[in-house]
Structure 1
Amino acid sequence: MYVVIMGCGRVGSSLSAGLERLGHEVSVIDRDPQAFRRLGADFRGRQIVGQGFHREVLTAAGVERADAFAAVSSGDNSNIISARVARETFGIDRVVARIYDAKRAAVYERLGIPTVATVPWSTDRLMRMLLPDGVASAWREPTGTVAILPLPVHEDWVGRPIRELEQATGCRVAFIVRFGTGVLPKSDTAVQAEDTVYVAAVSGTVSDVTAAAAAPPQEA
């Protein structure tokens, strides 16, 4: 693949090196010529000085033949503008933009630009390392409002219907992995031993949801 990367900071330079190691051809854009020092002496791709959303700069980077484009500079506005130009003007299908503002990320996702919302993503990664298995979210939508997480449940939930687990935890069961296969449960689907239950929960309620599921069901 031929990949154009806008931004040669720590992320851009690391991404460039990783792609080259995998045998891909890379072109890097940055407005600061000194930024290319991060690429190292072994970098074989193009180094283009300029603003990544200017057409002439993108053309010099070879965007017209690019298979993919990544906007990973330190500016949200620059990233989304360059990503939209790459997608809408040059017709690149594989486009992604790094965004710091999670609310903006949701808007850009609706415009068809895949984004990496840096703060929520980093938070989730850190939580995975700090918290017990199964507590940190497996996926979070761009605004960071809703998370999908595997939910450890008390053994007494086995045999109880999904609707009771949802009522007790205040979350929605998204799917179950049962014997290695994903299952979309109905409200009367019973929890089985060895099920991995994935739920959708609002951010800020994960601790309460986890605590409720870890407790045995309360009899009415």
Structure 2
Amino acid sequence: MHVVIMGCGRVGSSLASGLERLGHEVAVIDRDPQAFRRLGPDFRGRQVVGFGFHRSVLDEAGLDSADAFAAVSSGDNSNIIAARVARESYGVEKVVARIYDAKRAAVYERLGIPTVATVPWTTDRLLRMLLPDGVATAWREPTGTVAVLPLPLHEDWVGRSVRDLEEATASRVAFVVRFGSGVLPTATTIVQAEDTVYVAAVSGTVSDVTAAAAAPPEED
């Protein structure tokens, strides 16, 4: 693959080095020539000085023949403009932009540009390291409003219905992993001992949802 990366900060340089180690052809764009020092002396790809949304710069980086484009500079506006140019003007199939503002990321997703909202993503990774297994979110939509998480269920939930679990936790069961396979449950699906239950919940209620699931269900 030929991959063009806009931004040679810590993320861009690490991404470029990783792709090159995997045998891909890489071109890196940055407006600061000194930024390319992060690539190290062994980097063999193209180093293009300029703004990643200028056509002359993108042409020099070989975007017209690129298989993928990543916009990972420090500016949201620059990233999304460059990503749209790559997608709409050059027809690059795989395009992704790093966005710091999670609310704006949702808008860009609707424009067809996949984004990585840095703050929510980093927060989730830290939670996975700090909290017990099964508590941190498995996925969060771009605005950070809704999260999908695996529930640490109290043993007494075994034998109860998905409807009971949803009512008690004020969440929606998204899917169940049962014997290693994903299952889309109905309201009448019965929770089994081997199940890992994933629910969708409003992000601000995650702690309440997990607390309710960790407690035994109320008797009817």
What TM-score, normalized by structure 1, do the two folds share? 0.99
Cα distance between partner residues in 2 of 1:13 and 1:192:
47
Cα distance between partner residues in 1 of 2:180 and 2:58:
45
Cα distance between partner residues in 2 of 1:185 and 1:15:
39
Q: Which position in structure 1 is the counterpart of 2:127?
A: 127
Q: Which position in structure 2 is the counterpart of 1:160?
A: 160
Report the 3-state secondary structure (helix = DSSP H, G, I; strand = E; otherwise coil) of the residue aligned with 1:204.
helix
Q: Which position in structure 2 is the counterpart of 1:91?
A: 91
How do 1:1-220 and structure 2 match up within 5 A?
Answer: 1-220=1-220
Residues 117-156 of structure 1: per-residue CA shift (max 9 Å, x gap)? 0000000000000000000001111011101111011111
Report the 3-state secondary structure (helix = DSSP H, G, I; strand = E; otherwise coil) of the residue aligned with 1:192.
coil
Cα distance between partner residues in 1 of 2:135 and 2:51:
41
Cα distance between partner residues in 1 of 2:207 and 2:51:
44
Cα distance between partner residues in 2 of 1:217 and 1:65:
58
Q: CA deviation at 1:194?
A: 1.1
Amino acid at match of 1:154: H
Cα distance between partner residues in 1 of 2:40 and 2:180:
44
- CA-atom RMSD, angstroms? 0.5
* Number of corresponding residues: 220
Amino acid at match of 1:102: A
Report the 3-state secondary structure (helix = DSSP H, G, I; strand = E; otherwise coil) of the residue aligned with 1:28.
strand
Q: CA deviation at 1:95?
A: 0.2
Cα distance between partner residues in 2 of 1:188 and 1:84:
45
Structure 1 residue ranges, 4+ long, deviating more than 4 angstroms after superposition: none
Cα distance between partner residues in 1 of 2:194 and 2:132:
18
Q: CA deviation at 1:58?
A: 0.3
Cα distance between partner residues in 2 of 1:148 and 1:208:
14
Report the 3-state secondary structure (helix = DSSP H, G, I; strand = E; otherwise coil) of the residue aligned with 2:92.
coil
What TM-score, normalized by structure 2, do the two folds share? 0.99
Cα distance between partner residues in 2 of 1:174 and 1:67:
34
Report the 3-state secondary structure (helix = DSSP H, G, I; strand = E; otherwise coil) of the residue aligned with 1:106.
helix
Give me the identity figure in percent: 83
Cα distance between partner residues in 1 of 2:131 and 2:205:
15
Report the 3-state secondary structure (helix = DSSP H, G, I; strand = E; otherwise coil) of the residue aligned with 2:11.
helix
Gaps of at least 5 residues in structure 1 are: none
Cα distance between partner residues in 1 of 2:106 and 2:204:
19
